[in-house]
């Protein structure tokens, strides 16, 4: 069959690949389209079977220009710009000038709830053809690829960026910025402390990139930085106009246990808890609450005006100035206990006016106790005004003055020698304080506790709270002192012992203990006698030991000092002394009989004289 010539353009079309044919078909609006019937009639099938005829260079160039103009390069990892052509409930259809439109889940556009048809978006090809032949794109991946360049540029140029607050996290929020999860610290959300972070979740806000960590791919943003510049200007203006005594409006920014921080419009001032109210308060939240607007007065500030001391109560008249002139010393007043200390209690008579009831004015008792033994915080009490100083704003009150002074008729109720019962209230080293009634205390000296026991400390004899029988020994009305005795309520057994254990009386007892300088024996439950070492010797020369029973002679008895000394040796030594004395008497009597009488002496003298005279005559 003769070879039939076909038009050149038909050859060019036939030599294209099937994919190219599809592209040409999709771009029919840009290139001229040939009638299919005419194309088939003029198609050279022989040349098609034998091979492709060489395309003219000018035609090939024209074709390449058309492809470059109408189709995108869909290489992997390359970000392209597409147009939103349709939005469904779950997806956005994006045209990127490819063979078909791509789809992207709307979840990737959560940061941009205002997405609409016609918007330009950056995408990356995720799947060229899914099971249904659909082109699947990813906006999130495209944003991630482009994000770091944008974030770094925004940080370097200090540009403002828009971000979507995704959720809360420890210490702040997670923000989607250009597809990157950035951290927004809680302190960088606003210039004032944020108490409810949840109010910012799912909101789009403007931020400033303040820090980038390239190693860990961390980005920190701040919303606070956007408003600090304006606030700084306001702060300088406010500080320049500050004066003591100036009244400003502020907002309660923070409440602490020691005071309240007030935002004066970019400048913070502190109202100390003592400057919040003329009344005594336990915590500032009793007076103010967060975000409350109120007027405050400037009390003081430092040279740089960076520390501003504010006052709230100073805007009101001092309660002492409003205190009624009718209140005077001796009047009875009622109030509430607001503070208790060891030394007394403060009573709020009227709001902001307090009086002190010293613990000594709470009871007529001279035995002082803690104020907490009488009142507690919140009690409503009645008291008498003792002192009143309106200039120094001081008032002292008393409770005991509401009852009669028990010492008024003390001589009638407690005369010397009368006996009573009292309660042990306190110990000292030298005695015991006993309360006879409220306001009447007396002292029992340690020596007046017992007739027989040697008490070293009162706790050895009695306990606090015990009831003791006492006798009034001395009464000092002016000094409000009462001297009591307990042993005086019973008979003194030593009066009887003084006769029973008189000197030289002999008693039988057993050695109880051996001590350094002797031994002790118990004659009864009250009397313990001491035996000196040398008085323990028995008649055979040996000494008594512990447990030995023997007779003892009383050689010393002192009732005042309750001292008794006895001796075993004195019993047989006395007999020896009697024998010695008798022998001495007998010896003396014998000697007297042997002595010459006075007459004998005279005779001897006369004989001697006569002899001497005779001898003289002889001479």
Q: Could you tell me the pLDDT band of residue 477, with boundaries at 50, 70 and 90? A: confident
The pLDDT confidence band at residue 392, using thresholds 50, 70 and 90, is confident
CB-count burial class (<10 Å; 0-12, 13-18, 19+) for 325: exposed
Mean pLDDT of the 2-7 span: 40
Per-residue confidence band for 583, with pLDDT thresholds at 50, 70 and 90: low
Using 50, 70 and 90 to split pLDDT, how confident is the model at 308?
A: confident
The confidence score (pLDDT) of residue 8 equals 40
Supply the pLDDT for residue 26: 45
| 42 or 261, greater pLDDT | 261
Percent of the chain predicted with pLDDT > 70: 79
From the list 181, 180, 184, the residue with the least C-alpha distance to 170 is: 184
Closest CA to 566 of 525, 495, 506, 513: 506
Q: Averaging pLDDT over each range in 63-72, 288-297, 447-456, which range is the top one?
A: 288-297
Sole residue written with tokens 């006895």: 566
8 Å CB contact between 324 and 363:
no
Please name the residue ranges forming H helices in 559-597.
Answer: 569-594
Q: What per-residue confidence (pLDDT) applies to 563?
A: 86
Q: Which of 227-241, 352-366, 465-479 is predicted most confidently?
A: 465-479
Q: How far is CA 554 from CA 50, 454, 514, in A?
A: 162, 21, 18
**Mean pLDDT throughout 107-131?**
82
Spatial neighbors of 297 by CB under 8 A, at least 6 apart, are: 245, 246, 247, 248, 310, 311, 312, 314, 315
Question: Worst-scoring range by mean pLDDT, 24-28, 75-79, 275-279, 530-534?
Answer: 24-28
Residue 543 DSSP code: B
How many other CB atoms are there within 10 angstroms of residue 396's CB atom?
18
The two tokens of residue 510 are 């057993």
Rounded Cα gap, residues 534 and 545, in angstroms = 13
Most confident of 125-134, 236-245, 609-618: 236-245
Using alpha carbons only, give the angle 309, 314, 316 rounded to the nearest 5 degrees.
155
CB atoms within 10 A of CB 45: 12
| DSSP per-residue codes, 228-254 | HHHHHHHHHHHHHT--TT-EEEEEEEE
pLDDT at 609 over 80: no
SS3 589: helix
Using CA atoms in the order 61, 67, 69, 72, what is the torsion angle rounded to 10 degrees?
-140
Asked if pLDDT for residue 18 goes beyond 60, the answer is no
User: What phi, psi does 427 have (nearest 5°)?
Assistant: -110, 150
* Calpha distance 77→591 (Å, rounded): 156
Query: Is pLDDT larger for residue 2 or for residue 584?
Result: 584
> Closest Cα to residue 434, out of 414, 454, 404?
414
The yes-or-no verdict on residue 586 having pLDDT over 90 is no
> How does pLDDT run across 433-467, given as a tens digit for each residue?
998 888 888 899 998 888 877 788 988 889 988 99
pLDDT at 397 over 90: yes
Q: What is the per-residue pLDDT for 2?
A: 38
Cα–Cα nearest to 566, from 494, 495, 510: 510
pLDDT at 570: 85
Asked if residue 543 has pLDDT above 80, the reply is: yes
Q: Are 570 and 531 in contact (CB under 8 A)?
A: no
> Mean pLDDT throughout 386-407?
87
Q: How confident is the model at residue 7 (pLDDT cuts 50, 70, 90)?
A: very low
452-461, 503-512, 576-585: which range is least confident on average? 576-585
Per this entry, what is the length of the chain? 619
Q: What's the rounded Cα separation, in Å, for the pair 354 and 341?
A: 14
Cβ(273)–Cβ(266) below 8 Å = no
Q: How confident is the model at residue 319 (pLDDT cuts 50, 70, 90)?
A: confident
Cα–Cα distance measured from residue 363 to residue 6, given in angstroms and rounded to the nearest whole number: 133
- Own/partner long-range contacts of 485-490 (Cβ < 8 Å, ≥24 apart): 485/444, 485/445, 485/448, 486/444, 486/448, 486/449, 486/450, 487/448, 487/449, 487/450, 487/451, 488/448, 489/419, 490/451
User: Cα-flanking dihedrals φ and ψ of residue 294, to 5°?
Assistant: -155, 160
Helices (H), 295-378: none
What pLDDT digit, counting tens, does each position of 136-167 carry? 888 878 877 777 888 888 888 888 888 899 99
Whole-number average pLDDT of the chain: 79
The first and second tokens of residue 3, run together, are: 């070879």
Phi, psi of 88 (to 5 degrees): -100, -170
Determine the pLDDT at residue 29. 46
Q: What is the mean pLDDT of residues 612-616?
A: 59
Whole-angstrom distance, CA of residue 350 vs CA of residue 570: 85
Decide if 395 contacts 389 (C-beta within 8 A). yes
Number of Cβ within 10 Å of residue 191's Cβ equals 17
Please tell me the least confidently modeled range out of 68-77, 238-247, 326-335: 68-77
Tell me which residue has tokens 């050895």: 460
**Calpha distance 376→341 (Å, rounded):** 10
| Mean pLDDT of the 368-382 span | 84
CB under 8 A, 24+ apart: contacts of 192-199: 192/253, 192/263, 193/253, 193/254, 195/290, 197/168, 197/172, 197/173, 198/168
DSSP state of 404: -
The secondary structure of residue 560, as a DSSP letter, is T
pLDDT at position 259: 92
468 has a pLDDT exceeding 80? yes
Which tokens belong to 286?
Answer: 């009793």
CB 280 within 8 A of CB 348: yes
Residue 272, pLDDT score? 92
Average pLDDT for residues 403-430, to the nearest whole number? 87
Element (H, E) at 211: strand 204-213
Range scoring the smallest mean pLDDT among 51-60, 180-189, 218-227, 250-259:
51-60
pTM over 0.85: no
Rg (CA), the chain: 61
């Amino acid at each position: 069959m003769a070879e039939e010539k076909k038009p050149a353009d038909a050859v060019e079309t036939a030599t294209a690949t099937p994919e190219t044919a599809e592209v040409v078909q999709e771009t029919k609006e840009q290139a001229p389209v040939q009638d299919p019937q005419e194309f088939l009639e003029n198609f050279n099938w022989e040349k098609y079977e034998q091979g492709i005829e060489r395309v003219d260079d000018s035609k090939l160039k024209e074709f390449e220009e058309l492809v470059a103009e109408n189709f995108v390069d869909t290489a992997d990892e390359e970000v392209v710009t597409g147009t939103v052509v349709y939005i469904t409930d779950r997806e956005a259809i994006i045209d990127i000038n490819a063979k078909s439109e791509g789809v992207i889940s709307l979840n990737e556009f959560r940061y941009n709830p205002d997405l609409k048809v016609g918007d330009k978006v950056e995408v990356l090809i995720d799947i060229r053809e899914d099971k249904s032949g659909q082109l699947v794109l990813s906006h999130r991946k495209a944003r991630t690829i482009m994000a770091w360049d944008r974030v770094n540029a925004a940080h370097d140029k200090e540009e403002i960026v828009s971000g979507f607050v995704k959720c809360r996290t420890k210490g702040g929020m997670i923000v989607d910025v250009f597809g990157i999860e950035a951290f927004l610290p809680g302190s960088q959300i606003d210039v004032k402390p944020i108490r409810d972070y949840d109010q910012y979740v799912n909101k789009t806000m403007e931020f400033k990139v303040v820090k980038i960590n390239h190693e860990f791919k961390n980005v920190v943003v701040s919303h606070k930085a956007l408003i600090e510049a304006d606030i700084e200007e306001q702060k300088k203006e406010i500080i320049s106009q500050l004066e003591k005594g100036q009244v400003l409006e502020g907002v309660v920014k923070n409440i602490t246990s020691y005071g309240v921080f007030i935002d004066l419009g970019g400048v913070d001032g502190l109202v100390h808890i003592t400057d919040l109210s003329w009344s005594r308060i336990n915590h500032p939240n009793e007076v103010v609450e967060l975000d409350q607007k109120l007027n405050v007065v400037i009390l003081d500030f430092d040279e740089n005006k960076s520390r501003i001391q504010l006052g709230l109560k100073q805007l009101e008249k001092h309660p002492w100035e409003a205190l009624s002139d009718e209140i005077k010393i001796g009047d009875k007043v009622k109030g509430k206990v607001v503070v208790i200390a060891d030394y007394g209690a403060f009573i709020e008579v009227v709001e902001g006016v307090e009086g002190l009831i010293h613990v000594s004015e709470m009871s007529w008792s001279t035995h002082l106790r803690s104020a907490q033994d009488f009142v507690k915080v919140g009690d409503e009490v009645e008291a008498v005004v003792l002192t009143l100083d309106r200039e120094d704003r001081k008032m002292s009150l008393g409770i005991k003055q509401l009852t009669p002074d028990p010492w008024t008729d003390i001589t009638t109720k407690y005369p010397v020698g009368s006996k009573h019962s009292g309660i042990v209230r306190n110990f000292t080293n030298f005695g015991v304080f006993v309360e006879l009634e409220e306001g009447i205390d007396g002292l029992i000296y340690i020596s007046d506790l017992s007739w027989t026991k040697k008490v070293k400390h009162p706790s050895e004899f009695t306990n606090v709270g015990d009831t003791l029988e006492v006798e009034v020994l001395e009464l000092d009305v002016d000094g409000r002192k009462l001297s009591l005795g307990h042993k005086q309520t019973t008979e003194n057994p030593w009066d009887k012992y003084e006769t029973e254990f008189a000197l030289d009386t002999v008693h039988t007892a057993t050695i109880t203990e051996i001590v350094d300088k002797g031994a002790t024996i118990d004659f009864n439950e009250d009397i313990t006698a001491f035996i000196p070492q040398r008085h323990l010797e028995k008649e055979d020369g040996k000494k008594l030991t512990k447990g030995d029973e023997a007779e003892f002679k009383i050689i010393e008895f002192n009732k005042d000092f309750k001292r008794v000394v006895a001796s075993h040796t004195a019993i047989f030594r006395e007999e020896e002394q009697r024998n010695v004395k008798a022998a001495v008497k007998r010896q003396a009597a014998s000697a007297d009989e042997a002595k010459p009488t006075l007459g004998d002496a005279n005779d001897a003298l006369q004989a001697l004289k006569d002899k001497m005279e005779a001898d003289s005559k002889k001479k």
